[in-house]
Amino acid sequence: MRHRLMDAVVGAVLTFALTSTAAQAEKIQIGCTATSDCASAMIAVDEGLFKKHGLDAEMVLIGINSNIPAAILSNSIQIGGPTSTVFLQAADGGLDLVAVSGASIMNKISNDAIAAFVRNGVTITSPQDFKGKKVGAPGIGAFLHVLFVKWLVEKGVDPKSVNFVEVTFPTMADTIKSGGVDAVLTAEPFVMRMTNANLGTVGARYAAELARTEPIIFYAASREWAEKNPETVKKFRAAITEAAPIVNNDREKASAAIAKFTKQPLDLVKLTTPNRAEPVLKPEQLAWWIDVMAAQKMLQSKLDLKKLILN
C-alpha cells in the first residue's frame, strides 16, 4: 500500500513538473517568406531547439517580405525575418524595429542561386534589354529588388526605365506563364522549377556579378517588445545559434524543414543548397546596404548603426 502511495505521489509530482514546464514555455510567432533564409528558425522548430530553450515557437508564412515590419508592429508576429533593405527602410521611416539575431548572409552559393528569370517570347541578352520591361519583384524595396537596381546602375541602365511590380514567390510561375510580367527577380528553387516547366530562361545572374557577402535576412522585433522580453530574446538567440550549424552542414534536415514551411516539394528543395545561416550580426555589416540604399534615394535620414542591433 505504501509503495503504491509513493508511486502515485512520484507520478503526480512528475506530471505537475511536466505540465508546469509546458505552461511556462513562452509562445512566439516568427514570420518569414517562402525562402531558405529563415532556415535556422525552421530547424529550431522542427528539431525542438526552441522547446529546449523554453519557447513555444510557431512559424508564420508571409507572402511579401515588405509586409513583415507591419506584422511585427501589429503583434501578428513577435519576430520576423525582413531582408536587410526592408528593415532599414522601415527604420528610416520611423518604425522602431531592432535586429535580434542574424539569419542568412550572401555568399557564392546564394549569389549564384539568384536570377532574373525571363518568360518565353522575351529576349534578354544584356542589361540594356530590361528597359521598358515589366519585372516582378517579391517586394519593392526588398533584397532582390535593391540588388537588381544596384546591378542595373553599375551596368549603366536607368532603373526608372524598368517597370517594377510586386509578385510573391509562390505566384511567380503562374504570373510568368500568364504573361503578367516579362521577368521576375527570384532565386532557387524557383528558378529551377520554372526552367523545368519550360516557362522561360535565366536572363541575368545579377547577384553573382555583384558578389557581395552582407546579410540577406536577419531576425527583427519591435524595440518595445524586445526590451520588455529580454529573456525571450536570449532564448531565441540560443536556439538560432544551435540551429545554424545544422542548416549549414546537414542538407537532409535543412531541406526537410524548408520544404515543410515553404510547402514546396522536398525533392525540389533538395536540389539547391540553403542560403548560409549566420546568427552573428554586426553593425558594420549593414553599412554597405545603407550606402546602396542611400544612393537609390531609399533613405531620408542618417541611421545610427549601433541602435539598429539589440545588445
* Final residue before a domain boundary, out of 210, 230, 246: 210
State pLDDT tens for residues 264-295: 899 988 988 889 999 999 888 899 999 999 99
Residue 47 in any domain: the answer is yes
Specify the pLDDT at position 66: 86
Asked which of 21-35, 105-119, 166-180, 250-264 is least confident by mean pLDDT, the reply is 21-35
Residue 19 in any domain: the answer is no
Same domain, 190 and 248: no
Looking at per-residue pLDDT, the higher value among 25 and 269 belongs to 269
Q: Give the integer Cα–Cα distance in Å for 163 and 294.
A: 21
Domain containing 147 — which CATH number? Answer: 3.40.190.10
State pLDDT tens for residues 108-164: 988 999 999 999 999 999 999 999 999 999 888 888 999 999 999 999 999 999 999
Same domain, 200 and 224: no
State pLDDT tens for residues 187-243: 988 999 999 999 999 999 999 999 999 999 999 999 999 999 999 999 999 999 999
Share above pLDDT 70 across residues of the chain, in percent, rounded to a whole number: 92
Residue 1 in any domain: the answer is no
Q: How confident is the model at residue 24 (pLDDT cuts 50, 70, 90)?
A: low
Cα distances (Å, whole numbers) of residue 310 to 260, 306, 307: 30, 8, 7
In terms of C-beta distances under 8 Å and separation of at least 24 residues, what long-range contacts does 15-20 make, across chains too? Answer: none
Residue 126 in any domain: the answer is yes
Number of domains in the chain: 2
